[in-house]
Amino acid sequence: MLKKGTKLYSILKFKCPHCHEGEFYKSRNPYNFSSMAVNYDSCPKCHRKYSLEPGFYYGAMYVSYALGVAHVVSFVVARWVLGFEMEFWNFIILVAGCLILATPLYYALSKIIWANLFMNYKTKNDEQPND
């Protein structure tokens, strides 16, 4: 499931969506705030451009929003399934605090997910790096 050639491999390992060898981000740690989710302009290995057009990563905001909604919904469902009782405002503070802590990770994931939606893994017929 998590082998080279799958989109999940590229997303979870923060690798180039095209060759799965080069790094996508300059720092693999999304909590490194000095270079938080700063990606290369092109892959260091295959030289594929990561930005297909100006403003390409604005669409990643929708992915980030979906990750945030999934985060909140999973907390609500877990509370309901596990029967975890907590005052409403304490629960809101818990969910919001965890969401704030996960925000750098969601930001990094949203950009790599967005790139993987539009870039495919290379095949044997791929010869040009920027097609």
Residue 70 domain-assigned (yes or no): yes
**Taking all residues of the chain, what is their mean pLDDT, rounded to a whole number?**
89
Residue 129 domain-assigned (yes or no): no
Q: Which comes out higher in pLDDT, residue 93 or 4?
A: 93
Alpha carbon distances (Å) from 33 to 29, 30, 95:
9, 7, 22
Residue 28 domain-assigned (yes or no): yes
Distance CA 57, CA 44 (A): 19
pTM strictly above 0.95:
no
The pair of structure tokens assigned to 67 is 């990750």
Reported as a pLDDT band with limits 50, 70 and 90, residue 128 is: low
Percent pLDDT > 90 in the chain is 65
Residue 124 domain-assigned (yes or no): no
Say yes or no to pLDDT of 131 above 50: no
Which residues span the domain enclosing 21? 7-118
Residue 32 domain-assigned (yes or no): yes
Distance CA 82, CA 25 (A): 37
Residue 130 domain-assigned (yes or no): no
pLDDT tens string 93-124:
999 999 999 999 999 999 999 999 999 888 65
Return the ∠ at Cα 104 (arms to 112 and 129), rounded to 5°: 20
Residue 36 domain-assigned (yes or no): yes
Q: What is the predicted pLDDT for the residue at 126?
A: 55
Residue 33 domain-assigned (yes or no): yes
